Amino acid sequence: MNVSEITIIDEIIEIGKSLKRNGLICSTDGNISVRNGDNIYITPSGYDKGGLKRNEIVKLDIKKLEYNVDSEIKPSSEVNMHIRSYMNDKIIKAIVHTHAPFSTAFASKGILPNRERLLESELLPDICMIDDYEPGSIELANEVSKNVKDYHIMLLKRHGVIVFSESLKMAYETIERFEFLCRVNLYSNLL
């Protein structure tokens, strides 16, 4: 591994820890990826994102769709969604998908949060709702990648939220801010 690879992998590991620590992911749910040139670094399937090790991050060649690690470590089941999104929008360099509780509550109801309830929501990119597709399916990957140029936050109906950004740090901050917007919406609806 070169210095650039180590930096990317370490950032993915740190974001995984932050997502877990802040209750934005549960158990082995969610996935994180970064694009660097023709390579994608993505979290493995079936691993707790809060305790990842360097050798568990899967490196994919986007053109060959080959990965570099022990055959027992597979890329996230949402790998097609990540690859197709990167191919459809060259601006994005990072993707974070979580099942954060407040975001997922809105996704499960099939409704978008009211952005007017939080002034800081103007810092968020445009948001859309993606219909109910089987997680990890080609249909979900196609629907998400078809919308990625117009929407950098997507609620996946009955599934969770996915954010696309120019950096992993920005993707994390967007997930956190969006989750806060959803929480404010839910609480304000109770008043």
Catalytic residues: 78
Rounded to 10 deg, the angle between the 101-109 and 168-190 helix axes is 70
Token readout for 80 is 């097609």
Report pLDDT digits (tens) over 45-93: 999 999 999 999 999 988 876 565 556 889 999 999 999 999 999 999 9
Residue range 81-107: average pLDDT? 96
Cα–Cα distance between 83 and 100 in angstroms, integer? Answer: 22
What is the DSSP code (8-state) at residue 125? -
Question: Which residues have a Cβ under 8 Å from the Cβ of 14 and sit 6 or more positions away?
Answer: none
Spell out the domain ranges in the chain: 3-190
pTM of this structure: 0.94
The CA distances from residue 173 to 96, 112, 131, 178, in Å, are 10, 19, 25, 8
Q: Which CATH superfamily is domain 3-190 in?
A: Class II aldolase/adducin N-terminal domain (3.40.225.10)
- pLDDT of the residue at 65: 66
Q: What is the Cα–Cα distance from 75 to 78, expressed in whole angstroms?
A: 8
